[in-house]
Amino acid sequence: EIVLTQSPATLSLSPGERATLSCRASQTISSYLAWYQQKPGQAPRLLIYDASNRATGIPARFSGSGSGTDFTLTISSLEPEDFAVYYCQQRLSWPITFGQGARLEIK
């Protein structure tokens, strides 16, 4: 099973600042990684797929990068609605796995 480790567990920032979230895979997964955003009481929302492609309707302030084992989600300038929990997910091999989540909170 491929283990995804996200860091930091919690990131405290202010609106307008830049956020960088990391996801490390226990073995190489090429670019088969997605990022999701989840707000309390809601289903996850797909942000990025195949490491760097924005999903439909996702604002340009969200970007993804990386390949192999190290991946990054960047939010260039935080909006109030961006404070949420973020998950990475790999689809290279079964079982599909998610990272443990990273909370982005308002400072």
Partner 1 sequence: EVQVLESGGGLVQPGGSLRLSCAVSGFTFTSYAMSWVRQAPGKGLEWVSGISGSGDISYHADSVKGRFTISRDNSKNRLYLQMNSLRAEDTAVYFCAKNVWTTTFYFDYWGQGTLVTVSS
Query: Is residue 51 involved in binding partner 1 (CB under 8 A)?
Result: no
φ/ψ of residue 80, rounded to 5: -55, -30
What is the spatial distance between Cα 73 and Cα 48, in angstroms, rounded to a whole number? 8
Integer angstrom CA distances of residue 79 from 39, 43, 58, 67, 96: 14, 20, 13, 27, 30
Segment near partner 1 (CB under 8 A); pick from 11-19, 40-48, 60-68, 71-79: 40-48
* Site mask for partner 1 (CB under 8 A), range 60-99, x = bound: ---------------------------x-x-x--xxxxxx
Which residues lie near partner 1 (CB under 8 A)?
1, 34, 36, 38, 42-44, 46, 49, 55-56, 87, 89, 91, 94-101
